[in-house]
Amino acid sequence: MSDLFLALIHHPVVDRNGRIVTSAITSLDIHDIARSAHTYGVKRAYIVHPIAEQREFAATVIDHWRFDFGRAFDGRRREALETLKVVETLDDAIADASAIDGKRPLIVHTSARTSGGMMTAELRQKMEAPDTPPIMILFGTGFGLAPSVIERADIILNAIRGPGDYNHLSVRAAVSIILDRLRGR
């Protein structure tokens, strides 16, 4: 089975008007995504942010639970947070994952607006086949990944859909649903 990585991208993402912005890291994204990633056996989940102060904030949230109060208070939360790594750019995340696995991961683009791309079931099959390289799934905060990010992708994943047309999920929900589709029992 392919090793699985994910990257939560804060720049470049779009706002509600489609403008390119840099979103803020939230402590809730950190916790929820760490817990979902660890539940589904993600090898490393990257929090990607170009601004040093934001990366320091994320590191503070994580270290609080790793070393201080949190370690004694809730060991399961600490364990999940050890799945995370805070980096400056997507290239840093790719380099780190490549060093772990000895090969470069295939980059998977996600969006709430894609159709005509790969289905999650197909990606799961691919990941379970022998010799598939590791996979890194990109998730955009704000209103989603900027269009330019698609150029970095080897695989474009179709949007998650329910029975109707509305699919305005939080990034935390999207991460957990895609991980369950790829790795759930």
Nearer to its own copies, 32 or 94 (CB): 32
Determine contact, residues 176/127, Cβ cutoff 8 Å: no
Scan residues 34-53 and list those touching its own copies (CB under 8 A): 35-36, 38-41
Spatial separation of the C-alpha atoms in residues 106 and 93, rounded to whole Å:
12
Task: Tell me the residue type at 57.
Answer: F
Among 64, 66, 77, 152, binds its own copies (CB under 8 A): 77
Spatial separation of the C-alpha atoms in residues 177 and 182, rounded to whole Å:
9
> Which residues are CB-neighbours of 36 under 8 A, at least 6 positions away?
172, 175, 176, 179
Scan residues 161-180 and list those touching its own copies (CB under 8 A): 161-164, 166-170, 172-173, 175-177, 179-180
Nearer to its own copies, 107 or 175 (CB): 175
Spatial separation of the C-alpha atoms in residues 111 and 171, rounded to whole Å:
10
Residues that bind its own copies (CB under 8 A): 16, 28, 31-32, 35-36, 38-41, 73-74, 76-77, 79-80, 160-164, 166-170, 172-173, 175-177, 179-181, 183-185
